[in-house]
Structure formats: C-alpha cells, structure tokens
C-alpha cells in the first residue's frame, strides 16, 4: 500500500474521516524555502522530494512517503515544516495523525558527525604519508 505524508495546519477530526481540512493557511514562504533546500525537479518541471512528486491541495502539501521504501527526504521536509510552523503531519488516506517523533528524516547531524570523523581519519592517514612512508623500503 502506498502512503502519502500530508503536511499542513490540519483538523485532526477531519483526518480521522480521511479528509484534508485546513484550520489555517500553510506558510508558503517556508514551504518554498524548504523545497528549494530539499527538493528537485523532474523532467516535466514538477517539484519532487526523494524522487516523488509534491502535491499542493487544500492549503496542505503531500508527497509519497511509504510504499516499497520510506521516503526519508519527504520525512525531513515534514519534520522541518513541523518545527518551523507547528503544522501537523498526517496519513490522510489511512485516517491517522503522524507523530513527528516517529519519523527519522535524513538524520543530518548523524551524517555530519560521520563525515567529520571520516575527514579526521583521512587527515591522520595523509599526515602519516608525508613522513617518508612514500619511499619504498629496499629489501
């Protein structure tokens, strides 16, 4: 089954009835900024998150989230929207609200820490190589 992640200032009671009913307009300046940061464009010029087309409807944004594999880019977008605007996250087709704490997103801080460690290890290796280790030993 395919699941779409819907992001907006949603009426939770309407979500339970599998309806997207906004309680107020979504902050489109934040939407566009985050889509510029995380999104891409497909061949037709449509904005995508993780390769999946973004849809705008009823003052909300939605994107394919789960179905085969989890769309972590869509999760990251949803998490940032939630943090910056206080909007809600839902799987409207299944009639349920999504707890932001259950989404992984891109785990950018974890990736940055891994990259930092990798660069530090490379630097240590390069430093060792400059102390004569490039000269072959005679046997």
Asked if the structure places residue 134 within a domain, the reply is no
pLDDT digits (tens, 9 = 90+) for 44-98: 999 999 999 999 998 999 998 888 888 999 999 999 999 999 999 999 999 999 9
Of 95, 114, 96, 97, nearest in space to 106 by CA: 114
Beta carbons within 10 angstroms of residue 17's beta carbon: 10
Alpha-carbon torsion, ordered 35, 89, 18, 54, to 10 deg: 10
Looking at residues 97-110, what average pLDDT do you find?
82
In which domain, by residue range, is 45 found? 3-102
Asked if the structure places residue 49 within a domain, the reply is yes
Asked if the structure places residue 71 within a domain, the reply is yes
pLDDT digits (tens, 9 = 90+) for 2-43: 899 999 999 999 999 999 999 999 999 999 999 999 999 999
Asked if the structure places residue 115 within a domain, the reply is no
Q: For residue 125, what are the contacts with CB-CB under 8 A and spacing of at least 6?
A: none
pLDDT given for residue 123 in this prediction = 75
Asked if the structure places residue 90 within a domain, the reply is yes
The mean pLDDT of the chain is 84
Structurally, how many domains does the chain consist of? 1
Asked if the structure places residue 114 within a domain, the reply is no
Asked if the structure places residue 118 within a domain, the reply is no
pLDDT given for residue 132 in this prediction = 41
Structure confidence at residue 106 as a pLDDT band (50, 70, 90): confident
Asked if the structure places residue 116 within a domain, the reply is no
Task: Specify the pTM.
Answer: 0.75
Dihedral sign for Cα 112, 67, 84, 38, please. Answer: positive
């Amino acid at each position: 089954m395919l699941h779409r992640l819907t992001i907006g200032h949603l009426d939770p009671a309407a979500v339970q009835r599998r309806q997207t009913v906004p309680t107020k307009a979504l902050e489109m300046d934040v939407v566009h900024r985050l889509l510029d940061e995380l999104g891409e464009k497909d061949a037709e010029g449509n904005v995508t998150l993780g390769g999946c087309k973004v849809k705008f409807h009823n003052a909300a944004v939605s994107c394919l989230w789960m179905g085969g594999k989890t769309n972590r880019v869509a999760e990251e977008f949803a998490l940032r929207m939630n943090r910056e605007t206080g909007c809600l996250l839902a799987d409207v087709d299944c009639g349920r609200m999504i707890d932001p704490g259950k989404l992984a997103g891109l785990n950018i801080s974890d990736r940055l820490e891994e990259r930092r460690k990798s660069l530090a290890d490379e630097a240590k290796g390069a430093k060792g190589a400059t102390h004569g280790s490039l000269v072959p030993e005679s046997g």
